[in-house]
Structure 1
Amino acid sequence: MAGFIPVNEPLLDGNEKKYLLECIASGWISSEGPFVKEFEQKFAARVGRKHGIAVSNGTGALDAAVEALDIGPGDEVIMPAFTIISCVNQVVRNGATPVLVDSDPATWNMDAAQVEAKITPRTKAIMIVHIYGLPVDVDPVLDVARRHGLKVIEDAAEMHGQTYRGRPCGSFGDLSTFSFYPNKHVTTGEGGMIVTDDDELAETCRGLRNLCFQPHKRFVHERLGWNLRMTNLQAALGLAQLERLDEFVARKRRMGALYTRLLAGLPGVQLPLTHTAYADNIYWVYGLVLDESTGLDAETAMKRLADRGVGTRPFFCPMHQQPVLRKRGLFEGERHPAAERMYRQGFYVPSGMALSDDSIGVVAGILHQVLRP
């Protein structure tokens, strides 16, 4: 469609080409190349962690984290109802039970005040998932985890460069994970990272990403793993992106502020919070939640925007409404009203790093046309 404004377009005008050409010239294009180690070390340092383990995608990072913590049959993992299905995949595959927490309708994150009531003698871990631009209120969750002796997995896939009370997101879990999909602040095309301060967990994750080969008996396996290796080409791209992370964070915050100014006063539309007591919004994406008084749901609004050349993407479908999980007998009779409403009424508009101010103005103008009564 001529003039179509996509929901995401990455910005690749730094050292990406230079580093990729170095890979090609050297012949190091596999996971054995030097950019992988450099990217791991620099990314881990950026979020204040001792170890970085680069993997092929953010889902793989979560899978390996769940496996590394030996979460299995009989265990329960507390997590948000409102999240991507990647968070639940390995929990369910390993025979453990996901236990869901509803969202705070203002921040769109899991409601930290609901976590402790979900703990049972079978609870083994809490999965913190930071959503869209603001982090979870982490301290109360960590306090609960400490008092009950629980592990914490922190999914910081969308939080590159974000902080919680001045501390980097990705620094809070026993294992923390990131995604480098093209819509993230730092992209490697596809890719992910596990970070931790625990030497033993780091070594376990390195083994899991590489088929659990043993150092002295390579093709004799004591454990099943995956091929989750990141290539040197991907790491080269990621390193170039990481060099500009502060610039990218500032750019996203400026974009978010422009959207907020242009959409102020639009009736029946909840805009993202600009800040909380513990963080300023990083605007990974710019989301909207429509009030029912508009007479519109997200699906209808997104169709109208598409007809006018504006790309959108829906909010996450809550875990308890996922057909694949309901077929497994999970979440029977559960209701999580905030998550349900966010899915029904929420979507996000073009938010990619390469989006221009002019395009933001066009999108905002079309939103006024489409959403005004």
Structure 2
Amino acid sequence: MNPTPTDVTGPAVLWPWWSEGAVETVQWLLDEGDMAAASRDHPQIAECEQLAEDVLAPGRPVMMCDSGTGALETGYAALQLEPGSEVLVASHSFRATVTAMLPAGLVPVLCDADPDSGGIDLRDAATRLTRRTVALTITHTWGRPVPLTAARRFCDRHHLALLEDCSHAHGTAWRGRPVGAAGDVAVWSCGTWKMATGGKAGLLTCRDRAVWERAQVLAQPKHHALARVHDPQLRALAVTGAGHNRRPTPVGAVLVADHLRRLPHTLATKNERQADVEKLLANALPCLVPLPDPPGRSTGALYKWHWRNTSPHPVDTVIRILHAAGVRAARPSRPLHHTPLFTDPGLAASLRLPSIPPAAPDSFPGTDQLLKQLVEIDTRDMYEPLPDGDPDPYEHALAAAARELHALDRKD
């Protein structure tokens, strides 16, 4: 089932969708009624985990969880970081990357971003190290990989654990090295509109066998954990579990596996469509400049696209005009240092979460510079090539936006 994209000015066919075979398997699971997935090796989940290892994390076993956030929480807990310890993380990051550490009693310390690449600024992170710092979390936001060698060296130099959030970067590699390969723990979200999604699911890998076994006991049902765990104490805990249930559903496993199989097609299609749209953009709206390709990215595709507004008009005006012309444009999510969790220290205390130091609003100039004039394009209509001979709907939409901007120029 591969729907044909429609004109962006009309009701577009938007990702996600799944193959007819995946839909039939889901229907069969519903008819069978086996939604518990509590057995030692549930076939659909085992198949998805093996596919994820082959496609995303060669050489590392993969555990499937109920969500990306659940995988993150499990990873933070499995690292056995002391409650009250500090974790360095970019302010330019998805919120769950940070909030998932709070149940483990960890304190997020926000760091600035590189205004050109969007990745965490490790020079700024070095200035925020304290004797309580125990880990660095990097997020390959929007599919723009953080340099893996630099992140690993930083952690080794300062004796820190490294967690990689690869939730926007399915199939991405940095200088030929898959994202996730550098981290002590790496996770992928497979929820919402990710490039491999089951509606709600997550994947986790670990560098160290002991961390991996702890993750099994923290996240998986009894029979599944006992089949994978060798440590006697952890096996004893696996009999009851440790208070968490991150078990995925077989339906989610079938849907994620379907997208992992087509991932090479997805990446190639998105890259081809991006190149075509950027050519149209250069002709119609040269005042919108695409962010440069991420340094070192050797494979993968961007999860979302970002264009920098260089026109004299406010970025919100440009977005309004693009949206009216049919382009799925918006502002990026605000950085974490502008969210209430970090501006009002009393909020976390109301849920007995770790005390979070308030973020000084002017101490993240790189992040603010990165996001200030940025237009975000939702790429959910970019997962199939255009039918042969069909005009690119973005040509019409961008031309319409250009006319509106020129009319605005004349009024000014």
TM-score range, shorter chain: 0.7 to 0.9
1:246 matched to which residue of 2?
264
The 5 A counterparts of 1:81-120 are 81-120=91-130
Offset of residue 64 of structure 1? 1.6
2:375 matched to which residue of 1?
347
Flag structure 2 segments of 5+ consecutive residues without an equivalent: 1-7, 227-234, 346-356, 387-391
| Inter-CA distance 42–184: structure 2 relative to 1 (3 Å threshold) | same
1:23 matched to which residue of 2?
29
| Inter-CA distance 152–86: structure 2 relative to 1 (3 Å threshold) | same
Per-residue CA distance 1:125-162 (angstroms, 9 max, x = gap): 11011021321112111111112211000000011111
The 5 A counterparts of 1:182-261 are 182-210=192-220, 223-225=242-244, 227-261=245-279
Shifted more, 52-61 versus 338-347: the winner is 338-347
2:360 matched to which residue of 1?
332
CA distance in 1, matches of 2:218, 2:403: 51
Check the 8 A contact 1:8/1:350 in 2, yes or no: no
The residue identity in structure 1 corresponding to 2:52 is F
Per-residue CA distance 1:303-337 (angstroms, 9 max, x = gap): 33333343334313111111122112521355212
Offset of residue 204 of structure 1? 1.8
Shifted more, 216-225 versus 25-34: the winner is 216-225
CA distance in 2, matches of 1:263, 1:305: 12
The residue identity in structure 1 corresponding to 2:366 is A
Check the 8 A contact 1:79/1:126 in 2, yes or no: yes
Check the 8 A contact 2:330/2:375 in 1, yes or no: yes
1:37 matched to which residue of 2?
46
CA distance in 1, matches of 2:400, 2:302: 20
CA distance in 2, matches of 1:264, 1:12: 33
| Inter-CA distance 192–279: structure 2 relative to 1 (3 Å threshold) | same
Matched, 1:129 2:139: yes
Flag structure 1 segments of 5+ consecutive residues without an equivalent: none
Instruction: Pick from 333, 348, 366 the counterpart of residue 316 of structure 1.
Output: 333
Check the 8 A contact 1:56/1:192 in 2, yes or no: yes
Check the 8 A contact 2:64/2:202 in 1, yes or no: yes
| Inter-CA distance 153–305: structure 2 relative to 1 (3 Å threshold) | same
CA distance in 2, matches of 1:362, 1:301: 16
| Inter-CA distance 359–207: structure 2 relative to 1 (3 Å threshold) | farther
| Inter-CA distance 211–312: structure 2 relative to 1 (3 Å threshold) | farther
Per-residue CA distance 1:46-94 (angstroms, 9 max, x = gap): 2214221111221222122112222343311111110111111133344
CA distance in 2, matches of 1:247, 1:212: 37
| Inter-CA distance 187–367: structure 2 relative to 1 (3 Å threshold) | farther
CA distance in 2, matches of 1:19, 1:260: 38
User: What's the secondary structure of 1:258's corresponding residue?
Assistant: helix
| Inter-CA distance 370–177: structure 2 relative to 1 (3 Å threshold) | farther
Offset of residue 356 of structure 1? 5.7
The residue identity in structure 2 corresponding to 1:253 is N
CA distance in 2, matches of 1:26, 1:94: 38
Which of 1 and 2 has greater Rg? 2
The residue identity in structure 2 corresponding to 1:17 is V
Shifted more, 152-161 versus 115-124: the winner is 115-124
Instruction: Pick from 269, 280, 287 the counterpart of residue 268 of structure 1.
Output: 287
Offset of residue 246 of structure 1? 0.9
Offset of residue 343 of structure 1? 3.6
CA distance in 2, matches of 1:5, 1:366: 18
Offset of residue 193 of structure 1? 0.7
Shifted more, 211-220 versus 9-18: the winner is 211-220
CA distance in 2, matches of 1:188, 1:333: 37
CA distance in 1, matches of 2:222, 2:134: 24
How many percent identity over aligned positions?
Answer: 24
1:305 matched to which residue of 2?
322
Offset of residue 26 of structure 1? 4.1
TM-score (norm 1): 0.88
TM-score (norm 2): 0.80
| Inter-CA distance 63–301: structure 2 relative to 1 (3 Å threshold) | farther
